[in-house]
Amino acid sequence: MENIEIINLWKQYDEKLEKSLSLNQKIIAELQQQKAKNALRPARNYKILVVFIGIIYSALVAYFLYHLSPILSIFINLSVGIHLLIMIIAVGMYIRQLVLISEIDRSESILYMQQKMAKLQSSTLKVIGICFLQFPVFATWNIRLELIEKNPFAFWLIQMPVIALLTYIGIWFFNNINIKNMDKRWFRMMFYGVEWSSIIKSGKFLKEIETFEKN
């Protein structure tokens, strides 16, 4: 009889211990989730500022493009137009990133947060790569047909190599700015500010939850 009572007491103790561990695990997971959400606040504030500045800047560039004289070189019109288009795309992507941060902030699901975080990281990198694609326009806006006709050697031996170099740089960064290269030195030198570091910090908190639950 005493053995049965002892066994029952052990069972009750195990059940209480299991409930306690489960509750502690839930509390730890919720705390890590909150830390992950809080870690994104600097990135959100930074992106809001970028969107605000980007909208104003794009409006000024659009105003400038609209009032450009049609008799000016087609190259300057085309260069400013490409620059404006890329700026609009970048602002749109930053707005999308703010939506992703908002969705992460409202979510209680770890898996959902991780999926949104992966999209946020990818979008944060991709927008920088897209901005690099406009590099060549900084060497094309001053081209004039008169320059090509009167001084073709300067155009083909100086201007074109510079455009080709900037085009190569822009495409290289567009293709290489991705999560696979985040451990490389040049990547760390580029992405060290509050925007990227807060995203990485938030992602680490979510990873810790996943590791904790597996263990």
Question: For residue 27, what pLDDT is reported?
Answer: 56
Q: Three-class SS string for 160-206?
A: HHHHHHHHHHHHHHHHHCCHHHCCCHHHHHHCCCHHHHHHHHHHHHH
How far is Cα 203 from Cα 36, in angstroms, rounded to an integer?
Answer: 7
* Tally of CA atoms within 13 A in the half-sphere of 154 that contains its CB: 9
Q: Which of 168, 142, 137, 167 is nearest to 72 (CA)?
A: 142
Check: pTM over 0.95? Answer yes or no.
no
Q: For residue 211, give both structure tokens.
A: 């590791």
Question: For residue 83, what pLDDT is reported?
Answer: 92
Question: For residue 5, what pLDDT is reported?
Answer: 56
Question: For residue 10, what pLDDT is reported?
Answer: 54
pLDDT along the chain (215 residues), means of 10: 54 52 53 72 90 95 82 79 94 94 80 82 89 90 78 83 93 89 82 77 64 54
| Residue reference for tokens 């000024």 | 60
Contact 79, 159 (CB under 8 A): no
Q: For residue 149, give both structure tokens.
A: 């006709």
Question: For residue 116, what pLDDT is reported?
Answer: 83
Q: For residue 67, give both structure tokens.
A: 């009032």
Question: For residue 1, what pLDDT is reported?
Answer: 46
